[in-house]
Amino acid sequence: MNGPPPPASLLTPSLAGAPAHQLLLSPRATFLTSFFGGPIAALILMGINLQRLGRLKRETAALVVGGVLALGALVFGWVMLAQPELLGSLAPEGARRGGSWVRRLNNLLGVMTWGLLYLRMRVDLRAAELSRGEFEKPWKWAGIAMGSSMVLHMMVNMAAAYSTL
């Protein structure tokens, strides 16, 4: 019998060669990692999402702004740990410890970086949530982002400690 092929076999060749779709990292996971890891972690995770969306080159300006925020956090951390008296007159009496200012600014800049990049891809993230309803488990990438952020901050802390000797 030479009848027409079954409908499922008509779709098989076109679907077999399709590239595997990569899931995005969830907005909630990237937000929490950005809050605790700061702007460096936000850049890493949101950069992964932009790369998976195929928009990494198109969003270079947003990534540069995020990079400036990350650099600002590192410079502020170095200044506050090496020369805490520079901000002493601006800080309230109970908040003149440099370490707490550095942590709070890092949290704030991490959320700002996440927000900037989230606004650039919110439509894509919402579409992914509505169409598939799932995101990739972020633990591996969150660990890499947090580890990278910690290493850079430790290097800044060591540089600040050695510059005050």
Domain total for the chain? 1
* Domain contains 66: yes
For residue 5, is it within any domain? no
Task: Write down the residue that tokens 């990237």 correspond to.
Answer: 30
Whether 105 shows a pLDDT value over 60: the answer reads yes
Domain assignment of residue 2, yes or no: no
Whether residue 22 lies inside any domain: the answer is no
Domain membership of residue 18 (yes or no) is no
1 inside domain:
no
Stretch among 3-7, 24-28, 150-154, 156-160 having the lowest mean pLDDT: 3-7
Question: 76-104 pLDDT, tens per residue?
Answer: 878 877 777 776 666 655 555 556 777 88
User: How many CB atoms lie under 10 A from the CB of residue 75?
Assistant: 11
Q: Is residue 93 one of the residues assigned to a domain?
A: yes
| Nearest-angstrom CA–CA distance, 51 and 16 | 23
pLDDT tens digits for range 33-53: 999 999 999 999 999 999 999
In a domain, 137, yes or no: yes
pLDDT value of residue 82: 77
pTM: 0.78
* Token representation of residue 34: 């950005």
Averaged pLDDT score across all residues of the chain: 81
pLDDT of residue 17: 43
**Full domain range(s) for residue 118:** 27-163
Single-letter residue type at 25: L
Show the tokens assigned to 53. 């969306």
